């Protein structure tokens, strides 16, 4: 059966490129051994010395740890963000030998290489979209641990905006039967046939990893949003060895429950593979049934209902964690956009985490799913294919977007590139339109002929001109500024409307996506810690015109030095007239629209402001606020709808500066809030200042306390919710205020199935003596114990000490070099290492064994512990074909226990051509 295990904990991390010795060429044997299958070098090797590396928990964005201001990321060509390595040890059971084993990364970047057991298994050339690595051929089982090494290269850049680096999304270990549904291997295509009857076409990609053909039955069950089974299909088929076979099935549903932005109905499909009536695999797929049609003159229709798109977009970054976001952060962001009236979201300008589409399905957000790089190379096409396969079952996906503001789009080569990528999109998903976000070349003659939809970035004054030039292509705003009161997004504004939204009134315009969380402070509706702001209130008013709404912004609390000075107050509302009162006195009336709300300059005096909004001559809405007192309290707030105690969920906690009555103080900046939590959580990071994206104090593992500056009255802290009994209790301290505490109940306390953390089982930091030209007194060497002064070496073949010491030492050595010793002389060298015997098993009947994977030449090995404990073994013969028969040696260490410190001594003579400790040494349990 299928297992999907979270693999976020237990990673070792190193920023930069650790040094390591390279083969020096003295011995051809060293060079030769590094050209075989396990030919990875340095940190990619399974036995690399990572003892001093930092331990982190994923997701982890190492770029976010650099002390770089956000504005500097806009000049990435002068910023080298470096590179980093991640390593992780994991165990596969003996029972996994006949299964298919995958490592699945939700993303790693920017460029990433994945090594498993010293072998390069996958290379990702760009960021943001996940990939699966089939490690079945190189997997090790039982106490023979596996080692995955991931190199993330961020020296170059892809994006002009903030771009994270590292393993900044979840990683999973996936185990399946040899015959199983492939990664993202299902595609459900609902097609309306009549008013009520729908065809449901299903493609299922099944991979047979066995080395023989197999026959199996594929059973597909469909459940409606109420959990009722509405269809069951069965298909028996033969599956060729080592191939993907597509199984096509079809059924019909009468009057299904449709998905729309207002009714987010989701169906579940369960795919089973039965071999001889025994279940071999089970794979679940969520999908929705809806029909979206576009008319070049009338706009968009969803299930026959005319719908105007008004959505938002954001870059894939969060203050304090960068790209290493949790699912809860995605949910909170999309929920807050939904609350202000959004029905769409654009992934600006790359594929976002898989949780984005999951929550767009549930919050009715029409998703513009955007490709990262506009290339037609095989590398870029493969990434586009992965993005489509990952997301195509989500009913929220409105379109596939291939580019953002590409210079080439108006050229002949740009047209050919678009056609190439479009052809792939239509092959992978013929049900959705293909588009792009155009700025350059918008009015170029002949451009966009292959676009199903034409996205316009910002050029508000050109919508009618575009429609006139290209009347057969539906048009939408792929990027635009939002409502703005104090500032003007007026690239080509008309009719005096500062927000330039009048083009959305055109029937032919499908709608638009506005910037919501990004670098453009004028139009953000949420700040970096997801606080609604003035633009959010204006947007809420504008997108819900018949729901009474009024909000005074920014309130009526300012520093005392502002007394008597005029303050600009905006009344965000959806009426047509506003009267403002200060301490009961009228400050006058103004007309108001959603594009140009009422704004009053009022001299600051402590007390009350009250706004009265009318519409069509009738009372419509009111809002009031009072001046707050001094800074005396910290108020804590949890943004999560629910919190699970599962070792994965993250509590999003905000702290607000407040007076004694709990009234917010938005002018307070600077005081430090120190966060901590009980044993039910662990601090991840936090932030406040929107100009600084980097991680604040703290790290991704074990840190429970951190100080974060208040910025404009608030800051945020994030806590991973652990799978232990009890509520999560978060505490905040700030000088001059009493401690604040917030108790957060957890809905579920149960760990997400995860891969067990394992220590390294390799012996590292080997010291090697100088060559010894006489019989070694092993006991004297151990007793004197001066090995700590010897050179630290890698185990990469014949030690240099023996090279060129005798004539004809090797067929690969230049015999013209004068030899120091005679052929009949016996030479020795000694290896030494310290180790703590790792705990690799809970089975008390198993005892430790030291395994030397390759020990050539007549040798002896001693494991020396405290209190005269010792285990020894000897290699008494030479290999029958030196260098081509891997001579192993095992040392029974059953008298030792896990956790004991031991010394390991290996005495080697030059009794054969390839003498030496020439392969990794590790612990096992037998």
CB 778 within 8 A of CB 862: yes
Q: Is 487 exposed, middle or buried (0-12, 13-18, 19+ CB in 10 A)?
A: middle
Cα distance between residue 153 and residue 755, in whole Å: 26
CB 148 within 8 A of CB 48: no
All residues at 6 or more sequence positions from 724 whose CB lies less than 8 Å from its CB, including other chains: 645, 679, 680, 749
Whole-number Cα distances in Å, 684 to 227, 642, 718, 722, 826: 37, 18, 6, 12, 58
Query: Could you please report the per-residue DSSP string of 451-514?
Result: -SSEEEES-GGGHHHHHHHSTTS-EEEEEE----SSS---SS--TT-TT--GGGGSTTEEEEEE
Q: Token digits for 668?
A: 């307070």
Query: Could you please report the per-residue DSSP string of 98-114?
Result: TSEEEEEES--BSEEEE
Whole-number Cα distances in Å, 609 to 484, 541, 553, 603, 605: 22, 20, 11, 11, 10
Longest dimension (CA), the chain: 113
Cα distance between residue 438 and residue 410, in whole Å: 9
Mean pLDDT across 642-647: 98
Question: Of the candidates 521, 444, 529, 537, which has an alpha carbon nearest to the alpha carbon of residue 487?
Answer: 521
Residue 491: pLDDT band by 50, 70, 90 thresholds?
Answer: very low
Q: Token digits for 606?
A: 């402590």
Strand 267-275, strand 278-287: pairing: antiparallel
Mean pLDDT across 707-717: 92
How high does pLDDT run on average in the chain?
90
Question: Tell me, what DSSP letter sits at residue 65?
Answer: G
Cα distance between residue 661 and residue 815, in whole Å: 91
pLDDT value at residue 21: 77
- Secondary structure class of 200 (helix, strand, coil): strand
| pTM as predicted | 0.94
Highest mean pLDDT among 118-127, 385-394, 453-462, 591-600: 385-394
User: Which of left, alpha, beta for 70 (phi over 0: left; psi -120 to 50: alpha)?
Assistant: alpha
Cα distance between residue 614 and residue 747, in whole Å: 44
Residue 804: pLDDT band by 50, 70, 90 thresholds?
Answer: confident
- Tokens 């690799």 locate to 840
Residue 707: pLDDT band by 50, 70, 90 thresholds?
Answer: confident
pLDDT value at residue 24: 67
Cross-strand partners of 11: 56
CB 341 within 8 A of CB 540: yes
- Secondary structure class of 410 (helix, strand, coil): helix
Give residue-wise pLDDT tens across range 817-863. 567 888 888 999 999 999 999 999 989 999 999 999 999 899 999 99
Give residue-wise pLDDT tens across range 329-368. 999 999 999 999 999 999 999 999 999 999 999 999 999 9
pLDDT value at residue 436: 97
Statement: residue 453 has pLDDT above 90: yes
Cα distance between residue 126 and residue 129, in whole Å: 8
Q: φ, ψ for residue 725 (rounded to 5)?
A: -65, 150
Question: Tell me, what DSSP letter sits at residue 66?
Answer: S
Cα distance between residue 40 and residue 45, in whole Å: 5
Question: Tell me, what DSSP letter sits at residue 711?
Answer: B
CB 677 within 8 A of CB 704: yes
Residue 36: pLDDT band by 50, 70, 90 thresholds?
Answer: confident
Cross-strand partners of 657: 634
List helix spans (H) across 343-456: 354-363, 378-391, 412-428
Statement: residue 165 has pLDDT above 70: yes
- Secondary structure class of 698 (helix, strand, coil): coil
- Secondary structure class of 387 (helix, strand, coil): helix
Cα distance between residue 139 and residue 137, in whole Å: 6
């Amino acid at each position: 059966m299928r297992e999907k295990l979270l693999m976020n904990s237990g990673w070792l991390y190193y920023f930069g490129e650790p040094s390591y010795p390279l083969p020096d060429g003295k011995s051809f044997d060293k060079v030769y051994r590094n050209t075989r299958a396990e030919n990875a070098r340095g940190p990619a090797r399974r036995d690399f010395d990572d003892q001093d590396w930092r331990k982190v928990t994923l997701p982890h964005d190492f770029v976010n740890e650099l002390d770089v201001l956000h504005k500097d990321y806009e000049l990435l060509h002068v910023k080298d963000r470096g590179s980093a390595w991640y390593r992780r040890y994991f165990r596969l059971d003996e029972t996994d030998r006949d299964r298919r084993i995958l490592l699945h990364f939700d993303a790693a970047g920017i460029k990433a290489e994945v090594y498993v057991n010293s072998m390069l298994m996958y290379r990702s050339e760009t960021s943001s979209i996940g990939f699966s690595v089939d490690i079945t051929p190189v997997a090790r089982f039982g106490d023979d641990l596996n080692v995955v090494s991931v190199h993330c290269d961020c020296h170059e850049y892809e994006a002009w905006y903030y771009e994270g680096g590292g393993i900044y999304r979840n990683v999973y270990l996936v185990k399946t039967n040899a015959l199983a549904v492939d990664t993202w291997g299902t595609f459900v295509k609902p097609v309306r046939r009549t008013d009520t009857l729908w065809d449901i076409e299903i493609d299922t990609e099944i991979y047979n990893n066995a080395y023989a053909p197999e026959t199996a039955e594929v059973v597909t069950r469909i459940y409606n949003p109420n959990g009722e089974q509405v269809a069951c299909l069965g298909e028996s088929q033969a599956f060729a060895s080592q191939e993907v076979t597509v199984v096509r099935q079809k059924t019909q549903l009468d009057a299904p429950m449709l998905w729309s932005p207002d009714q987010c109905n989701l169906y579940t499909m369960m795919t089973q593979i039965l071999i001889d009536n025994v279940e071999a695999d089970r794979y679940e797929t969520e999908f929705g049934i809806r029909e979206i049609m576009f008319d070049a003159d009338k706009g968009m229709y969803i299930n026959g209902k005319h719908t105007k798109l008004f959505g938002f977009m954001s870059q894939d970054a969060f203050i304090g964690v960068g790209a290493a976001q949790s699912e809860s952060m995605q949910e909170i962001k999309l929920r807050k956009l939904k609350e202000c009236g959004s029905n769409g979201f654009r992934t600006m300008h790359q594929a976002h985490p898989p949780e984005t589409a999951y929550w767009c399905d549930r919050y009715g957000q029409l998703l513009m799913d955007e490709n990262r790089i506009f290339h037609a190379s095989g590398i870029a096409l493969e990434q586009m294919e992965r993005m489509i396969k990952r997301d195509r079952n989500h009913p929220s996906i409105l379109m596939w977007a291939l580019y953002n503001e590409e210079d080439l789009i108006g050229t002949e080569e740009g047209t050919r590139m678009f056609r190439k990528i479009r052809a792939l999109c239509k092959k992978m998903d013929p049900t959705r339109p293909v588009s792009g976000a155009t700025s350059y070349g918008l009015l170029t003659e002949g451009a966009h002929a292959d676009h199903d939809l034409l996205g316009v970035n910002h050029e508000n004054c050109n919508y009618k001109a575009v429609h006139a030039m290209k009347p057969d292509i539906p048009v939408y705003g792929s990027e635009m500024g939002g409502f703005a009161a104090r500032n003007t997004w007026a690239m080509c504004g008309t009719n005096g409307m500062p927000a330039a939204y009048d083009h959305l009134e055109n029937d032919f315009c499908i709608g638009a996506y506005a910037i919501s969380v990004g670098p453009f402070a004028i139009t953000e509706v949420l700040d970096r810690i997801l606080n609604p702001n003035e633009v959010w209130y204006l947007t809420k008013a504008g997108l819900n015109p018949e729901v009474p709404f009024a909000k005074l912004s920014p309130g009526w609390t300012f520093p005392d030095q502002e007394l008597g000075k005029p303050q600009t107050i905006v009344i965000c509302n959806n009426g047509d007239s506003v009267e403002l009162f200060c301490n009961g006195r009228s400050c006058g009336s103004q007309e108001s629209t959603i594009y140009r709300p009422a704004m009053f300059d009022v001299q600051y005096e402590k007390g009350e402001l009250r706004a009265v909004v009318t519409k069509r001559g009738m009372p419509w809405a009111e809002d009031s606020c009072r001046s707050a007192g001094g800074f005396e309290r910290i108020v804590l707030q949890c943004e999560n709808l629910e919190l699970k105690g599962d070792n994965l969920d993250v509590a999003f906690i905000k702290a607000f500066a407040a007076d004694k009555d709990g009234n917010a103080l938005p002018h307070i900046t600077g005081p430090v809030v120190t966060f901590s939590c009980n044993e039910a959580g662990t601090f991840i990071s936090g932030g406040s200042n929107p100009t600084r994206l980097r991680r604040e104090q703290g790290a991704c593992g074990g840190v429970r306390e951190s100080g974060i500056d208040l910025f404009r009255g608030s800051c945020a802290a994030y806590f991973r919710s652990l799978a232990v009994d009890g509520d999560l209790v978060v505490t905040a301290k700030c000088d001059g205020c009493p401690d604040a505490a917030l108790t957060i109940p957890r809905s579920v306390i149960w760990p997400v199935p995860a891969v067990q953390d394992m220590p390294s089982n390799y012996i590292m930091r080997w010291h090697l003596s100088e060559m010894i030209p006489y019989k070694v007194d092993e006991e004297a060497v151990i007793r004197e114990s001066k090995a700590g002064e010897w050179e630290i070496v890698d185990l990469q073949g014949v030690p240099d000490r023996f090279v060129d010491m005798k004539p004809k030492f090797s067929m690969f050595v230049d015999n013209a070099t004068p030899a120091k010793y005679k052929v009949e002389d016996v030479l020795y060298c000694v290896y030494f290492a310290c180790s703590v015997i790792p705990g690799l098993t809970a089975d008390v009947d198993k005892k430790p064994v030291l395994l030397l994977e390759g020990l050539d030449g007549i040798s002896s090995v001693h494991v020396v512990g405290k209190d005269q404990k010792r285990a020894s073994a000897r290699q008494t013969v030479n290999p029958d074909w030196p260098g081509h028969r891997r001579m192993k040696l095992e040392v029974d260490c059953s008298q030792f226990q896990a956790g004991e410190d031991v010394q390991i001594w290996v005495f080697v003579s030059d009794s054969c051509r390839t003498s030496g400790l020439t392969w990794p040494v590790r612990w096992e349990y037998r």
